[in-house]
Structure 1
Amino acid sequence: MTQFNLTLNLDQLKDELMDSNLNAVVKSSIVLILNQVMEQERDDYLKAAAYERNSERVDYRNGYYKRDYTMTFGRIKLKVPRTRNGEFSTSVFEKYKRAEQALVLSMLEMVVNGVSTRKVTKAVEQLCGEKVSKSFVSSLTKQLDPVVTEWAQRSLIGHEYKYVYVDAMYIKVREYQKVVSKAVYVAIGINEQNKREIIGFNVSHAESKEGWKNFFQDLQSRGLQSPKLVISDAHEGLKNAIQESFVGSGWQRCTVHFKRNLFDSLPKKGTEEFRSLIKDLFNCQCPKKARAVRDDIFQAYEEKKGYEKVLKQLDEGFEDAIQFMNEPPSYHAQLRTTNNLERLNSEIRRRERVIRIFPNTQSAFRLIGAVLKDYGETLDIGGRMFLKERKSDS
């Protein structure tokens, strides 16, 4: 039997083609090469060349059929060999199918990373020479649904999260032909390795006590135990939901938000010393020292005009704002604020600014979930830890 050997690295060929200016001659060459590859595959399958008689032959040729095939550099027409029993199948399409799947994944990645649907369709047209509709790109993103749902509903049983950060942000969603605001609830937990992990998110109605309780119940149904400390802002509904949902957990009021509220209540002039004392207060290493600084502040300012409101706010929120001081000193900078959620929110905002209005709640859940899942994989990778305990802390 005459042997025809052709070694072809399809992936390498594709890469080289993508970097070249394809024209009709080049495409014709690709068609010729791929047709030859399929012809050789049929010979190998039959164990006999054309018109060759031998005892090892397993079947007979049965002509060809034409097939259009769209690759990332355009559409080509191939002549696909057939056999009588119909069991022969070329590997060419499977190899390129895997390559084309990479293009689909790239499209999904573009969408998740904040590229608008219009720009994605334009990029695909430039790459493939084929037009795709916006609805086609939108339908592709639905492939994210099972991935996001599985991640969002994964079990937390067997994991301990001593510290949990929670926050909510608002997005716009079209609902019943109206544009409404929806709250995106997000929770980050610090796991046994002192690394951050996005443990839950949900898209629901406006931020409220009931909304937060439902969110916490979902976390608990997946296995979350009451953490040692929950860190958040002082939204009244959130505060109450934490107290009712996590019995025995402490609540740390974000000191950044608290200081901002205090400073907003100050007189317009001559407050530099007061601001400095407040900053010193939250830099204390233990509650006892912080309470002493607080007493000094009250002694110095309780008789001064214009400070009544800010001192009342400080008195009411003080204990909730110093709970982090009961933890190891090396944890304080990370535990006293919700700042580590700010970057996460900015990632959501970046995508939300492109879309502006989500077409429905499911699309918001899908894309925000994909963003969070992708971002979660970048948190504290390798041996890096979010909370680092010094020997002197123990």
Structure 2
Amino acid sequence: MTQINFTVNFNELKEKLLESNLDDILKSTMVLVLHEYMKQEQTDYLNVPSYERSAGRRDYRNGYYERELLMSIGKVPLQVPRTRSGEFHTTAFEKYERSDQSFLLALVEMVVNGVSTRKVTNVVEQLCGEKVSKSFVSSLTEKLDPVVEEWSNRSLSEIYYPYVFVDAMYIKVREHNRIVSKAVYIATGIGEDAKRHVLGFTVDHEENYEAWKDFLTLLTKRGLKAPKMVISDAHEGLRKAIQRVFVGTSWQRCTVHFKRNVIDKLPKKGMQEVKNDFKRIYDATSQEEARKHKNEFIEKYEDNPKIEKAIKTLEEGFEDTIQYLVEPPIRQKFIRSTNSLERLNGEIRRRERVIRIFPNNQSAVRLIGSILMDSDESGQKKKALYK
């Protein structure tokens, strides 16, 4: 390991301190340190100090070549020592990339968090005093691709997920010089560890049965075992795909979506008592209690023509919305709706609004995958939802 004995020219440094602003001082100091580091590395490689003779000499010094290094303090010009054979290579740049990569990671994080590429380039210019192109920022974010791909293809067989949540959201993508709408399919789950996990996602065309079946099948190929329950909205293609891929799995219709559907069938005014009686149905902690409240609601309002459509909607979808009540009461509030997944969609949407239109499909996969990876990691750090 190279040991550096700093023989810095302090007169030169003093002159810089007196004549330059703080940015120039930082750059000058960094140049002096890096130059000294590289000279010492060269000496260690040659196995002989400057101007000395030795039988153990490996090579000969052969001047310098210039190289610029873009750092968080700006662009730094360096004189890199070389040897006659050309076999000596300094590790200074490699060490810099490791130590200062937090700056580059910060740029990537800005993009992932919804800051536009244009704004990121402006930030770099403000911090470094150097202009960088949009392609420079894009090339940084492209480094996420293999990371996202590895995470997206990871095995799901190590833990069992009794409860799986699925939903889709729409984004706009530029494709073949056209702007098209694409569906983002997302699956999350609560594992046996009682923590939330992001299981997977894909970006596909219009939401339909075939697309849902392909997505769910992909999850099973990665090791996802048939869950006890899948929670989702009432999309017909999704329901059919769940039945086909997860034989014997219960389907829980999201109670939040369903209650909204029922209430939308009610008149806008004078319905507060009706709404309170309806919501009481879902305060139950068992299916028997929920059915009892439902029957009481129908008996009370079945002769009211204004409530007729709401009652019909309730009767048609009711049983699918109370499947969560067969589970222990401590778990029920976590599995009766897709609210947790809706919040995750909201996080994606918040960042997606800045971009508005993804330049291509891969950029959408990159950004959404990064957000989901972060959410999955955060979920593992939280306490269990229940015991």
Taking structure 1 as the reference length, the TM-score comes to: 0.88
| CA positional deviation for 1:311 | 0.8
Question: Aligned-residue CA RMSD in angstroms?
Answer: 2.3
Whether the 8 Å CA contact 2:301–2:307 is kept in 1: the answer is yes
User: What is the CA deviation profile of residues 258-305 of structure 1, one whole-angstrom value per residue up to 9, with x for unaligned ones?
Assistant: 111111111233322221122111111111111111111111111112
Output the amino acid matched with 2:88.
F
Matches within 5 A, 1:1-394: 5-6=5-6, 21-22=21-22, 24=24, 27-382=27-382, 384-386=383-385, 388-389=386-387
**Deviation of 1:7 (Å):** 8.8
Cα offset for 1:24? 4.7
Q: SS where residue 203 of structure 1 aligns? A: strand
Partners of 1:228 and 1:26 in 2: CA distance = 60
Aligned in 2, Cα 1:265/1:40: closer, same or farther, shift over 3 Å? same
Which letter does structure 1 place at the counterpart of 2:237? Answer: G
- SS of residue paired to 2:202: strand
CA distance in 1, matches of 2:24, 2:284: 74
| Matched position secondary structure for 1:166 | strand
The one-letter amino acid of 2:35's match is: N
Say which is worse superposed, 43-52 or 170-179, in terms of deviation.
43-52
Q: Secondary structure at the match of 2:6?
A: coil
Aligned amino acid, residue 116 of structure 1: S
* SS, match of residue 197 in structure 1: strand
Aligned-partner Cα distance in 1 for 2:21–2:165: 52
Task: Tell which deviates more after alignment, 365-374 or 321-330.
Answer: 365-374
- C-alpha contact 2:68 2:76 (8 A) present in aligned 1: yes
CA distance in 2, matches of 1:379, 1:105: 22
The residue identity in structure 2 corresponding to 1:207 is E
Identity of matched residues, %: 57
SS class of match (2:115): coil
> 1:243 corresponds to which letter in structure 2?
Q
Distance in 1 between residues matched to 2:322 and 2:287, nearest whole Å? 7
Equivalent position amino acid for 2:228 in 1:
K
Q: Give the equivalent residue in structure 1 for 2:13.
A: none
SS of match in other structure, 1:80? strand
Are the structure 2 counterparts of residues 22 and 151 from structure 1 closer, same or farther at C-alpha, using a change threshold of 3 Å?
A: same
Q: Which runs of 5+ in 1 are unaligned?
A: 9-16, 390-394
Instruction: Report the CA distance shift for 1:336/1:6 in structure 2 as closer, same or farther (over 3 A).
Output: same
Q: Deviations over 1:215-249 (max 9, x none)?
A: 11111121212111111111222222222221111
Whole-Å separation in 2 of the counterparts to 1:52 and 1:4: 19
> Greater CA deviation, 279-288 or 40-49?
40-49
Q: State the distance in 2 between where 1:7 and 1:257 align.
A: 71
Identify if the C-alpha distance between structure 1 residues 256 and 23 changes in structure 2 by more than 3 Å, giving closer, same or farther. Answer: closer
Distance 2:236 2:116 in 1: 36
Question: Structure 2 counterpart of 1:385, which letter?
Answer: A
Q: Structure 2: any 5+ residue segments left out of the alignment?
A: 9-16
How many angstroms apart in 1 are the aligned matches of 2:121 and 2:240? 47
Q: Is the 8 A contact 2:348 2:371 kept in 1?
A: yes
Q: Counterpart amino acid of 1:289?
A: E
- Comparing 265-274 and 49-58, the one that deviates more: 49-58
**Number of corresponding residues:** 375
1:4: Cα distance to partner? 8.4
After alignment, is 73-82 or 249-258 more displaced?
A: 73-82
Q: Which letter does structure 2 place at the counterpart of 1:262? A: V
Q: Deviations over 1:128-149 (max 9, x none)?
A: 2221111222232222211111
Stretches (4+) displaced over 4 A: 23-26
Q: Deviations over 1:100-119 (max 9, x none)?
A: 43332222111111111011
Post-superposition Cα deviations, 1:182-233, rounded to whole Å, max 9, x if no partner, equal 1111111111211111111111112112221111111112121211111111
Deviates more, 1:20-29 or 1:180-189: 20-29
Counterpart of 2:14? none
186-195 or 127-136: bigger deviation: 127-136
Query: Matches of 2:148 and 2:99 in 1, distance apart?
Result: 23
CA contact (8 A) 2:182 2:203 kept: yes
